[in-house]
Structure 1
Amino acid sequence: MYQGATGLEPGEGPATPVGRPPVEWDPDLTGGPRDDLSGLAVASLIFGLIGGFIFSPLLGAAALVKIKQTGQRGKGLAVAGLVLSGVWAVVLAVVVGVNWYVTHRAEDMVALRIGQCLDFPAQGRDDPFVPGQIATLPCTGPHRAEMAGWVGFGDGRGNVGEYPGAAALVQRAQEGCLSVTRNYVLDPLSLPADVHARWYVPRDSEWSRGSHSITCFLAADQAPISRSLREDAAIVNTDQLHFLLAIRDCVQLTARVDALLTAGPPAELRSAVAQTVDACSAMGVKVDTQPWPSEAEPAMLQLVADLDAALPLWQSAAGATSDNDLRHRVEQAQQRHVPTHMLAVRRALKLSTTQGEPLPEQ
């Protein structure tokens, strides 16, 4: 029988060495790709989906390293987990940033002081709201607005109730901030023509954090303000204060009547005329009974004479029976107010004599 060089019969193989088990083929030992899915990649994706952005990037990075070493499937899942964790991080940053802005915005408004001069983007007169970007500036240089005061809420015992809504706050601001700014600048003639009241009303989130006040400003529509506008009781002298408080209601109402005379609704004009009668009558009493400096006395007497002549005509206008008669009598009453007499009083008291003129040096 033929035997090969091994001395074995054909078909016979070498005997397995004693004590060594047979070795089976393992595809991993060949360096080929594995067919199983990376558990780390799956975990990274799951944490990325549920917002676990702390664990998701760690698991995703570990999965990519392991996949590169072993050839497991799941690279796309690991990358998706990393992307989702980044998205969650951005969302969290935005939420935290907005919350910080809202909180500090309310705190910044409360921290403002009356008389501070501010800057923010220019606005039109029809937009009463102060925009978001506010910076304090020296009042001796150009600025856009001045802090005039606040309009508060509550019953005096700290009870402010639920958030009243933006519309209710705006209505309150329209009424309250006009009063605040009138007290901040007692002489409206000293205000530049394009300066008007503006306000900042708290948002719902600010209200819940304790910001319950409307912040009132005087702001320029176009050209920056180059001086302090403040002319309140702390700035003007005693005679100026008495005079400005005596005349302001009458002056304000006669200006309103003048605005309504040409195109205003007759009912509003009639109401304004009735209020003018009361305000100008009170003005006459205050001006006539208040002691004035000797240099202002002659002009004051002439001003009182003008009021005495105009008051019966205002009363007659208030009782007019037709719209045309009302307008005719109002025009007659207006003619009795002599501007030069008012200007003479202002000069004697060292007050502004033209629109936008600052208070003269004392």
Structure 2
Amino acid sequence: MSQTPPPAGPPGGQPPYPGSPQQPGPPQYGQQPQYGGQPSYGGPPQQPGQYGMPPMAPIQGMPQQPYQGPPQGTNGFAVASLIFGIISGVLLSVIFGIVALRQIKQRNQGGRGLAIAGLVISGCWVLLFGVGLIIAIATDDEPSRDASGQVTETANVRPEKLKVGDCVEKVDTEGLIRNMKLVPCSGPNGGEVYAVFELPAGKWPGESAVSTVAESGCSDRWDALKRKVEEDSNIYYLQPVEASWSMGDRGVTCLVVPK
């Protein structure tokens, strides 16, 4: 059996038939081999000509604080608070100071230190008034008296501490009387206490009603004494006011006062 040799291929290594597959040759130098379908590494591809970091998304739950510029002038209430604090206008100073602190925060104004200073000074005034009141009460002791109860030295007392037989330097017939000056009855004086009595308890009856009862009570008690005075005199009385009535003051003090 004979074998027929395959036809010889054309010279130059070309395939014998057109369209036959080419054998892949080695890659040419200076070029990178291409691998299809492989993902790239290092994040998503960037467009040519774009550099830098991607924009940061805001963090959820963190409030964005608006920018506030420099203070817009000094708050007027802060200045007023300091001024009234200096001149002992405590009530106005406190009110203006509180209003100023609120407005300064809302309006981005200056003057916070002035408002605080006004409040501090007002607090100092309140403390000073309190200390003065305590000292006044502590020093308002019973006056010195002899064995018979007569005052032997000059002393300042509140009207409710007056007793029968006490003499005062003078009687102020106008305004609210807070203190009276006791003097020995053996010397010159401006009036003598001859009776002290209490009004009935109850609601405040009114100034006119209190005055009527006090005047009638003092006149009746003077007539009952059947006392004669060396010089022409008048009857004067101290009565409670509405404010002291609410605190339990019902006392009426009767004095005979030289004209």
After TM superposition, the score normalised by the length of structure 1 is 0.33
Larger-gyration structure (1/2): 2
Report which of the two has the higher share of strand.
Answer: 2
Report which of the two has the higher share of helix.
Answer: 1
After TM superposition, the score normalised by the length of structure 2 is 0.45
Determine which structure has greater relative contact order: mean sequence separation of CA pairs < 8 Å that are 6+ residues apart, divided by chain length: 1
